């Protein structure tokens, strides 16, 4: 009952922030000086073809197609309607490719590389951090220093070093791209076997950094929890170390879980630089190309997608935190 | 009366960062008889909580027990560098009732889950429903509402939390309960409820004996049968509770009593005095009697010689003065100095007068 109320409040918050995000994305794009149609028409007539009358017709046609002839509030409604139907319009730079299709092509690559990296990094990092805190001694010192180092190295540096050593010098793995020339993305073993060789380098460059960050965070949380009264008391009652470690893990995990969900949310945006370094065909590369060619519909769609992902991730964090931490539930519903 | 616990020559120290030893418990021997409550009193830093940690087998780095033996109902355990004390002794043979029960239960677990974990830690095959039935009976016996089992710790009041923790500590009917300042964070009525509960448990023979550690002499006077007074890592006086309060034989006991409000006729008319100075630094305790820099009755030999123990095991005082005046109680007015001599080797001498026994007694 209490939890249902908590859930309802969280859902309402989610909807409110979502609407705010929609308004912001819509307005921000329209704050950019100039009109995208001007740019297209200018490009089409660059060769000096077409009379003023024809240009006028083309211009009006595009204005109608993009819905720019309507008043702002109607444009917003149309925008909302389209977004809710999954229609993000047409790309300017690769006209007339629909933005939805472009994102649909890039998104799986980004997810394929980041989801495993985040999940593996989170699990390994937290276990290493918790064990280091619990064991202490040399294991702790070694793990802590390595983690600090791993998380302090800028991830693009690590990516470039990996690329240089493994792909250029040793030539074990391919240097860039998502799959070999001559193949096209399909669900076959040959394609999978080929794509996985392109997968390892960007994967490791992400996962190493992630493990380090998680281990450092978990270690300090666990050390804090280790000194708490309930650990001492549980020991005094003869409860075994394994059980106590579970208490510690559960409490130390709360902030780590938020971190996990936020990373998964941020994943949609793509590891921009990593994808660029390895020329990986994910969302990061797509976003980069879109920005450099002023492709507003694509930028807008990706920004909105990132916003939605982060919002959903936050919502999930709230729900999970509410599930495992009774204090949050109580504070939220004003019930003590 | 049968002997429940006999601890001999306990010696324990904290290792500081730079490798020096702070000996917080120095050659301490205590015993508890069946059905008895032994009170341990003393001001902050006298080693009473450390003694509690040792007796509850809850020693953790940087604290190390250097030597000593422990007899509990005929089972002997040697302390020392290589001592391995079975984990299951904790909670079933001796159990700890901690200071600050506020945070003694993990904030994300329900009381019933901790109860089950405690039972299971000592009996691998325990079934959840059986264990919880047992807890439910115990809670009903002691007059606590059954809803506390389903509560998270933040849903319980301070007094209720302390009583719930007391139930958990005694769930497995430990022979000896070490209560480390259980009443210190409570208001007077919660203190009373807790003490009544402990007495009830002793009557029901849930546990056979209690060691009650506190700085609160009035509370100690109510709960304990005997009181041991600690100063700077040593026990300076042991006596029956009434006897100690009425006829202290060690100047420190007398000084401690005169620094709190005790509702005894003898003290009622006196002003509350402090004990000048501060307890010694245990890295480098003063030679001779450790209390001599602050003692109003100090004699020349107190500065150099360890005080002899005068009296029997049940009633003794470790003091040169009481050795010279056997059977007499210390003149309370003379026991404390009005001020410290200049140049005394007293740690942090010159600081304002410290009130011994940090909590002024509550008017019970």
Spans of all domains in chain B: 3-215, 229-335
Average pLDDT for A70-81: 83
Residues A100-142 have pLDDT tens digits of: 888 888 888 888 888 899 999 999 999 899 888 888 888 889 8
Residues A180-202 have pLDDT tens digits of: 776 677 777 777 778 888 888 88
Which CA distances in Å does B200 have to A54, B167, B208, B213, B326?
A: 101, 12, 12, 19, 38
- Quick one: residue A67, left, alpha or beta (phi over 0 = left, psi -120 to 50 = alpha)? left
Q: Look at residue A232 and tell me whether its pLDDT is greater than 70.
A: yes
Question: Which tokens is A182 given?
Answer: 């001559």
The lowest-confidence range among A10-24, A319-333, B31-45 is: A319-333
Nearest chain A residue (CA) to B116: A239
pLDDT for the residue A269: 65
- Judge: A237–B118 Cβ closer than 8 Å, yes or no: yes
Complex-level ipTM beyond the 0.85 threshold: no
Q: In what side-by-side order are the strands of the sheet with B226-231?
A: B94-97, B176-180, B209-213, B37-41, B226-231, B234-240, B316-318, B309-311
| Domain B3-215 classification at class level | alpha beta
- Judge: A236–B56 Cβ closer than 8 Å, yes or no: yes
Place of tokens 């959903």: A312
Q: B167 to chain A: which residues are within 8 Å by CB?
A: none
Question: Which tokens is A168 given?
Answer: 């250029």
**Sign of the C-alpha dihedral, residues B298, B303, B304, B305?**
positive
Check CB contact of B98 with chain A, cutoff 8 Å: yes
- A233, A237, A247: residue with CB nearest B109: A247
pLDDT for the residue B358: 37
* A195 contacts A187 by C-beta, under 8 angstroms: no
pLDDT for the residue B228: 94
* B49 contacts B282 by C-beta, under 8 angstroms: no
Domain ranges of chain A: 38-69, 106-294+306-333
Rounded Cα–Cα distance for residues B306 and B309 (Å): 9
- Judge: B88–A238 Cβ closer than 8 Å, yes or no: yes
Which CA distances in Å does B245 have to B44, B89, B183, B253, B271?
A: 20, 34, 20, 8, 16
- B98, B121, B165: residue with CB nearest A238: B121
Q: Which of B58, B87, B104, B176 best tests the A interface by mutation, with the highest count of A CBs <10 A?
A: B104
Residues A91-106 have pLDDT tens digits of: 777 777 888 888 888 8
Average pLDDT for A331-336: 59
Q: A230 to chain B: which residues are within 8 Å by CB?
A: 103-107
The full DSSP string for A98-161 is BHHHHHHHHHHHHHHHHHHHHHHHHHHHHHHHHHHHHH-HHHHHHHHHHHHHHHHS-HHHHHHH
* Residue A231 C-alpha, separation from nearest chain B C-alpha, in angstroms: 8
pLDDT tier at A178 (50, 70, 90 boundaries)?
A: confident
pLDDT for the residue A330: 74
CATH number at A106-294+306-333:
1.10.3720.10
* A251 contacts A165 by C-beta, under 8 angstroms: no
pLDDT for the residue B219: 86
* Residue B185 C-alpha, separation from nearest chain A C-alpha, in angstroms: 14
- B60, B107, B121: residue with CB nearest A237: B121
Average pLDDT for A56-69: 78
Say if residue A54 is exposed, middle or buried (CB neighbours under 10 Å; 0-12, 13-18, 19+).
exposed
Rounded Cα–Cα distance for residues B88 and B73 (Å): 16
- Please state, as a whole number, how many other Cβ atoms lie within 10 Å of the Cβ of residue A58: 16
- Judge: B108–A238 Cβ closer than 8 Å, yes or no: no
- Judge: B122–A233 Cβ closer than 8 Å, yes or no: no
pLDDT for the residue A189: 76
* A238 φ, ψ (degrees, to nearest 5): 80, 15
Rounded Cα–Cα distance for residues A122 and A145 (Å): 18
Where would I find the beta strands (DSSP E) of chain B? 3-15, 21-33, 37-41, 63-72, 75-78, 94-97, 176-180, 209-213, 226-231, 234-240, 309-311, 316-318
- Judge: A237–B168 Cβ closer than 8 Å, yes or no: yes
**β-bridge pairing B176-180 and B209-213:** parallel
Nearest chain A residue (CA) to B90: A238
* Residue B161 C-alpha, separation from nearest chain A C-alpha, in angstroms: 13
Could you tell me which of B178, B176, B267 has the C-alpha nearest to residue B217?
B267
pLDDT in tens, chain B (364 residues): 688 889 989 999 998 888 888 889 988 999 999 989 999 998 888 888 899 988 988 888 788 888 888 888 878 888 876 667 788 888 888 999 987 667 889 988 999 999 999 999 988 888 999 999 989 999 998 888 999 999 988 888 888 888 899 999 999 999 999 998 888 878 888 888 889 999 999 998 899 999 999 888 888 888 899 999 999 999 999 999 988 888 889 999 888 888 776 666 666 666 667 787 788 888 888 888 898 888 888 888 888 888 888 788 888 889 898 888 887 888 777 776 665 554 444 444 333 443 444 333 333 3
Q: Which residues on chain A place their C-beta less than 8 Å from a C-beta of chain B?
A: 228-230, 232-240, 243, 247, 250-251, 324-327, 330, 336
- Please state, as a whole number, how many other Cβ atoms lie within 10 Å of the Cβ of residue A60: 12
pTM of the model: 0.74
Chain mean position to CA B282: 18
- A232, A250, A325: residue with CB nearest B98: A232
pLDDT for the residue A314: 84
- Looking at the DSSP assignment, which residues form a beta bridge with residue B177? B95, B210
- Please state, as a whole number, how many other Cβ atoms lie within 10 Å of the Cβ of residue B223: 24
pLDDT for the residue B32: 92
pLDDT for the residue B363: 35
């Amino acid at each position: 009952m209490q939890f249902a109320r908590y859930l309802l409040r969280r859902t309402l918050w989610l909807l409110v922030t979502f609407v705010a995000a929609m308004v912001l994305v819509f307005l921000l794009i329209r704050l950019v000086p100039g009109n995208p149609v001007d740019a297209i028409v200018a490009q089409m007539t660059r060769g000096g073809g077409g009379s003023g009358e024809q240009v006028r017709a083309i211009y009006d046609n595009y204005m109608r197609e993009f819905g720019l002839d309507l008043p702002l509030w109607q444009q917003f409604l149309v925008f909302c309607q389209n977004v809710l139907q999954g229609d993000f319009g047409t790309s300017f730079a690769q006209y007339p490719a629909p933005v939805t299709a472009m994102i649909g092509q890039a998104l799986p690559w980004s997810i394929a590389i980041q989801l495993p990296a985040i999940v593996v990094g989170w699990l390994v990092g937290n276990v290493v951090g918790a064990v280091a805190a619990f064991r202490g001694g040399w294991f702790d010192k070694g793990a802590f220093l390595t983690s600090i180092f791993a998380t302090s190295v800028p991830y693009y540096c690590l990516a470039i070093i990996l690329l240089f050593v493994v792909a250029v010098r040793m030539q074990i793995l391919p240097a860039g791209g998502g799959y070999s020339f001559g193949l096209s993305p399909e669900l076959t073993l040959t394609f999978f076997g080929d794509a996985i060789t392109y997968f390892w380098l960007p994967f490791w460059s992400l996962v190493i950094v992630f493990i380090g960050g998680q281990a450092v965070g978990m270690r300090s949380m666990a050390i804090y929890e280790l000194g708490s009264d309930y650990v001492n008391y549980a020991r005094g009652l003869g409860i075994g170390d394994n059980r106590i470690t579970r208490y510690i893990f559960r409490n130390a995990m709360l902030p780590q879980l938020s971190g996990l969900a936020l990373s998964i949310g941020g994943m949609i945006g793509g590891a921009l630089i990593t994808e660029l370094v390895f020329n990986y065909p994910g969302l990061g590369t797509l976003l980069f190309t879109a920005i450099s060619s002023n492709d507003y519909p694509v930028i807008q769609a990706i920004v909105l997608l990132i916003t939605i992902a982060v919002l959903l991730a936050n919502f999930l964090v709230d729900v999970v935190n509410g599930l495992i931490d009774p204090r949050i539930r109580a504070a939220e519903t004003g019930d003590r | 009366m049968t002997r429940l616990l006999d601890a001999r020559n306990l010696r324990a120290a904290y290792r500081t960062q730079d490798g020096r030893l702070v000996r917080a418990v120095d050659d301490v021997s205590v015993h508890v008889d069946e059905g008895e409550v032994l009170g341990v009193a003393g001001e902050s830093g006298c080693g009473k909580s450390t003694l509690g940690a040792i007796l509850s087998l809850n020693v953790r780095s940087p604290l190390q027990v250097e030597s000593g033996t422990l007899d509990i109902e005929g089972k002997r355990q040697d302390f020392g560098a290589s001592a391995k004390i079975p984990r299951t002794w904790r909670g079933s043979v001796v159990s700890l009732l901690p200071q600050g029960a506020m945070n003694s239960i993990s904030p994300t677990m329900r009381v019933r889950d901790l109860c089950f974990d405690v039972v299971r830690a000592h009996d691998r095959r325990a079934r959840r429903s059986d264990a919880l039935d047992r807890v439910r009976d115990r809670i009903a016996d002691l007059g606590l509402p059954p809803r506390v089992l389903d509560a998270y710790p933040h849903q319980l009041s301070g007094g209720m939390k302390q009583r719930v923790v007391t139930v958990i500590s005694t769930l497995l009917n430990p022979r000896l309960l070490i209560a480390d300042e259980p009443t210190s964070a409570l208001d007077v009525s919660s203190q009373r409820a807790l003490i009544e509960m402990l007495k009830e448990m002793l009557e029901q023979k849930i546990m056979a004996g209690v060691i009650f550690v506190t700085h609160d002499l009035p509370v100690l006077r109510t709960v304990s049968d005997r009181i041991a007074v600690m100063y700077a890592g040593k026990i300076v006086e042991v006596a029956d509770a009434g006897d100690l309060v009425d006829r202290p034989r060690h100047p420190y006991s007398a000084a401690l009593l005169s620094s709190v409000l005790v509702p005894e006729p003898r003290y009622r008319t006196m002003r509350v005095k402090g004990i000048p100075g501060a307890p010694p630094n245990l890295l480098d305790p003063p030679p001779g009697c450790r209390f001599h820099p602050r003692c109003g009755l100090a004699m020349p030999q107190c500065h150099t010689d360890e005080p002899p123990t005068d009296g029997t095991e049940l009633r003794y005082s470790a003091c040169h003065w009481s050795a010279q005046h056997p059977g007499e109680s210390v003149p309370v007015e003379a026991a404390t100095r009005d001020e410290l001599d200049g140049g005394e080797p007293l740690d942090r001498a010159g600081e304002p007068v410290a009130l011994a026994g940090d909590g002024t007694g509550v008017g019970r």
